[in-house]
Amino acid sequence: MASMMPGQGNCQKPGGSGQQPSASDIKKMQDSLSKQLDQMKKEMEKGKSPGGKGGNKNQGMSKEIAQMAAQQAAIRQQLEKLAKELNEEGKGQGNELKKISLLMEENEKDLANQNLTNQTKLRQQEIQSRLLKAEKAERELKYADEFDYILVNDDLETAKKEAYKLVKSFVESK
């Protein structure tokens, strides 16, 4: 049904390639949605009402908000899927993603009710901040197997020197 609706054609379909998106992919999709929300908020502040009656502009904004709500739902579903997969590995790495998912759900409700407030914007910023941390953690975890060493810290100075050498050799190899 979404393909039958007119639009700008810039909607990213999460997971459309059949491959599970990473935290980085999800962050990029959320960033795109955030820009759309900012633009919509600016238009509303200029006096345009997204849910007002009469006029094609208002109907267009309502449709645009509905598309953003659907986009947020799709991003949230992909995030929940990623969280589930990470938690199945038994390390609980998806728990933070579940918290982000709850924030996304609140934004979906605001969008569905056409209630774009400063709270919505603050929540969006919190989502982006947490996704940035998740992206960083994901990137770091890629190297976890390559950087698995035991340091004996009987002597602090020796342990510091050994840690420095390990990190230096790891960084130089990348």
Tell me the average pLDDT of the chain.
81
Q: In terms of pTM, does the model score above 0.75? A: no
Burial profile 67-98: b = 16 or more Cβ within 10 angstroms, e = fewer = bbbbbbbbbbebbbbbbeebeeeeeebbebbe
pLDDT computed for residue 148 by the predictor: 77
The amino acid present at 148, given as its one-letter code, is D
pLDDT of 8 reads: 44
Lookup result for tokens 């390559």: 146
In order, the DSSP letters of 96-150 are HHHHHHHHHHHHHHHHHTT---HHHHHHHHHHHHHHHHHHHHHHHHTTTTTS---
Residue 77 has what pLDDT? 95
CA distances from 153 to 144, 147, 158, 169 (A): 21, 17, 7, 19
Residue appearing with tokens 């929540």: 123
- Per-residue pLDDT at 20: 73
Per-domain residue ranges for the chain? 8-142, 143-174
CA distances, 53 to each of 60, 73, 148 (Å): 11, 26, 62
The dihedral sign for the CA sequence 39, 43, 46, 51: negative
In this predicted structure, what is the pLDDT of residue 10? 46
Residue numbers in the chain where pLDDT is lower than 50: 1-17, 51-55
The whole-angstrom distance between residue 160's C-alpha and the CA centroid of its chain comes to 36
